[in-house]
Amino acid sequence: MTTMEPDQIRVLIPADRIRERVGELGRAITDDYAGADEIVVVCVLKGAFIFAADLVRQIGIPCRMDFIRASSYGTHCSSSGRVLINHDLDIEGRKVLLVEDIVDTGLTLSCITAELMKLAPESLKICCLLDKPSARKVPAEADYIAFTIPDLFIAGYGLDMAGRHRELPYIGIPAS
C-alpha cells in the first residue's frame, strides 16, 4: 500500500462539523447522567483518543478517564475478524461510558462490551464517533452516535491508515 499524504485524503466530515457534533453529544450525555457524582469514561485506544479528549471537555459531569486497547485491524484496511483486548480497569459498581472510534462489523464492540460486563459496572453506555451499519456482521449498537457513514475506509481525527493521519482535524477518505 502506498502512503497517502494529507492532501490525498478527501474530506468527508469537516473539523467544524465534528466540533459541533461533539458539543451536542456532550450536552446529551450530561443530560442523561444528570445527578451522577462521576462517570468513568473508558476510551478505546488508539483510534478514539482524540474524540474522547474532546468529548470529556464537553460533558458537564466529573469524568474519570481510563483506557482499553482493542484491535482487529492491525496494519490492514479491513478487520482481521480477531479482536485483541488489553486493559487494567476497575469499574465495578461505576457508571461507565465507553468511547469508541468506529462501529463497523460490530465484532470489536461486542467483544469489548462482553469484557466490560464481566467487570460488573453499575451501567454501561456506548458512544461512538462513526457508525457503519452496512458493514455489520454481529449485532452492536451505540447509545450515542456522532455520525453514520457508508462502508468506506476512513482516516483522520484519531483514526489511522496504517498508523498515519490520526492528527488530521477532519475525517476523510483516500482520494481516488
Give catalytic status of residue 143 as yes or no. no
Spatial separation of the C-alpha atoms in residues 151 and 145, rounded to whole Å = 16
- Which among 54, 104, 131, 160 is annotated as catalytic? 104
Instruction: Give the side-chain half-sphere CA count within 13 A for 130.
Output: 26
Give pairs for 137-144: CB < 8 Å, separation 24+.
Answer: 137/105, 137/106, 137/107, 138/105, 138/106, 138/107, 138/110, 139/106, 139/110, 140/103, 140/106, 140/107, 140/109, 140/110, 140/113, 141/103, 142/100, 142/103, 142/109, 144/25, 144/28, 144/29
Nine-digit cell string for 63:
469524568
Catalytic residues: 104
